[in-house]
Amino acid sequence: MLGVQNPFFWIVPAASILALVFAWIFFKQLMKHSEGTVRMAEIARHVRKGAMAYLKQQYKIVIIVFVVLTIIFALMAYVLKVQNPWVPFAFLTGGFFSGLAGFFGMKTATYASARTANACRSSLNKGLQVAFRSGAVMGLVVVGLALLDISVWYIILNAFVKDGDPAHKMMIITTTMLTFGMGASTQALFARVGGGIYTKAADVGADLVGKVEAGIPEDDPRNPATIADNVGDNVGDVAGMGADLYESYAGSILATAALGAAAFMHNFDMQVKAVFAPMIIAALGTLLSIIGIYAVRTKESATQKNLLGALGRGVNLSSLLILVLSYVVLRLLQLDNYTGLWISIVVGLLTGWLIGKETEYFTSAAYKPTQDIAGNAETGPATVIINGIGTGMMSTAFPVLTIVVGTILAYLAASGWNFANMSMGLYGIGIAAVGMLSTLGITLATDAYGPIADNAGGNAEMSGLGKEVRERTDALDSLGNTTAATGKGFAIGSAALTALALLASYIEELKIGLIRLGEMSMSIGSRVVQTSAATLTDFMEYYDVTLMNPKVLVGMFTGAMMAFLFCGLTMKAVGRAAASMVDEVRRQFREIKGILTGEAQPDYERCVAISTKGAQHEMMLPSLLAIIAPVAVGIIFGVPGVMGLLTGGLSAGFVLAVFMANAGGSWDNAKKYIETGAHGGKGSEAHKAAVVGDTVGDPFKDTSGPSLNILIKLMTMVAIVMAGMTAAWSLM
């Protein structure tokens, strides 16, 4: 059995392969559908070409970054010997698989848009089936590749890492695997930031000149930026989101495994179970996601409401089953305090669900906050912005309190309701994050099909299909917005919990780093402790990570500032890239005669090229800052500074991310609400004011906000990979 210590482990590679097989089946089924008319296929080809061209360009740059970082890690591992020899390889595979997940997801999405539009020509239900199954390809590829990477690495490291003490060996394995999370995070950050800038530069540029100045509708083929806009949905919302959630998913499993290894370091038998538990729960969730995906079906004459019900049934079925089955598995495993840990999982799932509901309340036009913002449009754009920002800021209270309660409950349940039992409590926070993300296969599917439907709408518009088809794709799109709210709740909630788990495992990495430097003793107050026997609390005292240490305090200031600086850089980047797009579209309207009358075709490629160049150019600085900041703070202020940076960045960044996502979502839906006829409807002054809000909200919700989730985790990942270095440096 390759020496794997518990047969339950094999569920993990099995689930991984099953997920990939079903993804392949869904993809094949998709390809059997027709792309519709020649015009539809042609437009889809344009978008596909642009998207692939962008992705290639992005991967070229990311490869350079990966080569440089791999060389640095190799130096650390082989020359300075402050890191594990496996780390450079783990880092590379993490990045590779994350990129692969984005690539497959986006490829599927670009094949799906015309096919969804074509299916919508028959019925709403057919359209849903095509779009949703394509989204499911993305969901299953993400979880399948993550579980594959995790199980293969576990088998390899288990076979090759040599250490006399099996419990100690397990700690080395889990902390090494954690570092492949950095590869995934790095890839994800570039994908989110680059894709986010691309999509919003195109979107804002297209809207400002097309909708506002020329007065032509969204996705009108006369708008030169319209293809770039549709490409953007794919590279930003599909590829970016895929890489993002791949990273959360893998990160939460790996951090929890490392925390489990640390919590049970004195009991090898339990340790194995604690390390495998998060992987097995994730594997189970994957199997249940496949079942849930099959449950999403409805009758041919389905209304929008029926479809929403069908989607809800699929997700709820998977979630309820995981609640039951995770208890069964934990009990069969006979892991210590399995009831408590199961409560942590339940708490995790509930927390994600609740944040989703809160997000929906604050961003959906069905509720008062967004309706109020729409009402403010009557007094012009300034009041729309003031109230949107106000609402977004206020809306942070609920998700934060939910995370606060969830964190404490997950901690207490796992620790046997004893605050002092810190190592078990932190393991509980990790397992709550895993619980929240366990059914990612299906939640991601409900999230990813939104941009597919959006693109299908674009295709329908540009191909001149009937109004009915466009209405159906719009219905799918708005359905997607509702399910996406829940998806965002899970993404943002899991980012917070995962970051907390990663933070805790940072200390474990430090410990391993110190042990690698040669087993040694630490003087803590009046006691002397061997490194390997030191507890988390010992480390806290050794490094004086208390709140009055000025290094901690300035680290916290820097962390909070990093979140704002990062947002500012990405906001400005969108502004600049959008301005070039505006100039280009204006130029084409001016110089290419006959665009607006439909007699001449605009130069789509030029706009695609501008977005691509803008995104590539602008993504470097914020991304590099995220990597450099923890290293620089570590060199200057040591472990206390890094811990301050990470906690300050996490707390401020989380709140800022919720604010930006909710304000953006609310503006978007306030505009859509007015378009349904409220406050004068389309074309009114109120509508124009609401469009300003929507435009401002675009980079809020699709560039800066989601990138923050990754920033928080990437900074922690960098600190983790650099822990050995920081430990050595602190001893000099």
Nearer to a second copy, 149 or 694 (CB): 694
Nearest to 697 by CA among 204, 242, 216: 204
Rounded least distance, CB 242 to a second copy, Å: 26
Among 651, 666, 716, 726, binds a second copy (CB under 8 A): 651
Binding region for a second copy (CB under 8 A) out of 66-74, 348-356, 555-563, 591-599: 555-563
Give the H or E element holding residue 528: strand 527-530
Nearer to a second copy, 290 or 691 (CB): 691
For residues 197, 200, 206, 208, the Cα torsion angle rounded to the nearest 10 degrees is -110
Among 699, 705, 706, 724, binds a second copy (CB under 8 A): 699
What contacts 232, CB < 8 A, 6 or more positions away?
Answer: 195, 198, 199, 200, 201, 202, 203, 611
- Give the per-residue contact string, 44-83, with a second copy (x = CB under 8 A; - = no): ----------------------------------------
- Give the per-residue contact string, 153-192, with a second copy (x = CB under 8 A; - = no): ----------------------------------------
Among 77, 469, 560, 627, binds a second copy (CB under 8 A): 560
What contacts 75, CB < 8 A, 6 or more positions away?
Answer: none
DSSP state of 79: I
Rounded least distance, CB 201 to a second copy, Å: 11
Tokens of 383: 């009041």
Task: Note the residue count of the chain.
Answer: 732
Among 434, 696, 725, 727, binds a second copy (CB under 8 A): 696
Amino acid (one-letter) located at 606: R
Nearer to a second copy, 294 or 419 (CB): 419
Contact 637, 699 (CB under 8 A): no
Contact 708, 660 (CB under 8 A): yes
Beta-bridge partner residues of 529? 522
- Does 520 interact with a second copy (rule: CB under 8 A)? no
Site for a second copy in 387-426 (CB under 8 A): 387, 389-397, 400-401, 403-404, 407-408, 411, 419, 422, 425-426
Tokens of 151: 């199980």
Site for a second copy in 361-390 (CB under 8 A): 376, 379-383, 385-387, 389-390
Q: DSSP 3-state assignment of 679? A: helix
Among 537, 601, 624, 681, binds a second copy (CB under 8 A): 537
Rounded least distance, CB 407 to a second copy, Å: 6
DSSP state of 5: S
- Does 269 interact with a second copy (rule: CB under 8 A)? no
Site for a second copy in 573-612 (CB under 8 A): 574-575, 578-579, 582
Phi–psi pair at 523, nearest 5 degrees: -90, 115
Nearer to a second copy, 98 or 407 (CB): 407
Among 257, 504, 619, 678, binds a second copy (CB under 8 A): 504
Q: Concatenate the DSSP letters of all residues of 222-269 into one string.
A: TSTTHHHHHHHIIIIIIIIHHHHHHHHHHHHHHHHHHHHHHHTTT-HH
Tokens of 31: 């390809």
- Does 151 interact with a second copy (rule: CB under 8 A)? no
Nearer to a second copy, 130 or 556 (CB): 556
Distance CA 189, CA 181 (A): 12
Among 128, 280, 552, 722, binds a second copy (CB under 8 A): 552
Among 145, 188, 652, 670, binds a second copy (CB under 8 A): 652
Nearer to a second copy, 235 or 691 (CB): 691
